[in-house]
């Protein structure tokens, strides 16, 4: 069992940032945007890429199966481009 899930939000234009605890599991990502957007999540600043995705206008949910993706150094939003976008990142 991966533990309880907590949600964190990150808006386009907020800059790169560490999201949530220093070690966590990425379980899902919800993305809302008013124009096509793309994002990259890494394990810490400059670490291995966990997820890179381009999403269409509107709301998109990305689910990670099983126990999710382990981010040893925390989930870091290294890039998030688009217009009117917000990420909702679910971590365990």
Which two tokens mark 22?
């220093």
One digit per residue, the tens of pLDDT, for the chain of length 92 reads 556 899 999 999 898 999 988 899 999 999 999 999 999 999 999 999 999 999 999 999 999 999 899 999 999 999 999 889 999 999 99
What pLDDT was estimated at residue 2? 53
- Residue 26 CA to residue 50 CA, distance in Å, equals 9
Model-level pTM?
0.92
Which two tokens mark 3?
């533990």
Is 32 exposed, middle or buried (CB count within 10 Å of its CB: 0-12, 13-18, 19+)? Answer: middle
- Residue 37 CA to residue 54 CA, distance in Å, equals 6
């Amino acid at each position: 069992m991966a533990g309880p899930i907590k949600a964190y939000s990150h808006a386009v234009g907020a800059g790169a940032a560490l999201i949530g605890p220093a070690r966590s599991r990425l379980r899902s990502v919800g993305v809302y945007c008013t124009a096509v957007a793309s994002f990259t999540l890494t394990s810490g600043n400059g670490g291995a890429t966990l997820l890179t995705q381009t999403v269409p206008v509107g709301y998109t949910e990305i689910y990670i199966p099983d126990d999710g993706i382990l981010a040893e150094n925390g989930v870091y939003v290294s890039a998030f481009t688009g217009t009117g976008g917000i990420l909702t990142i679910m971590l365990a």
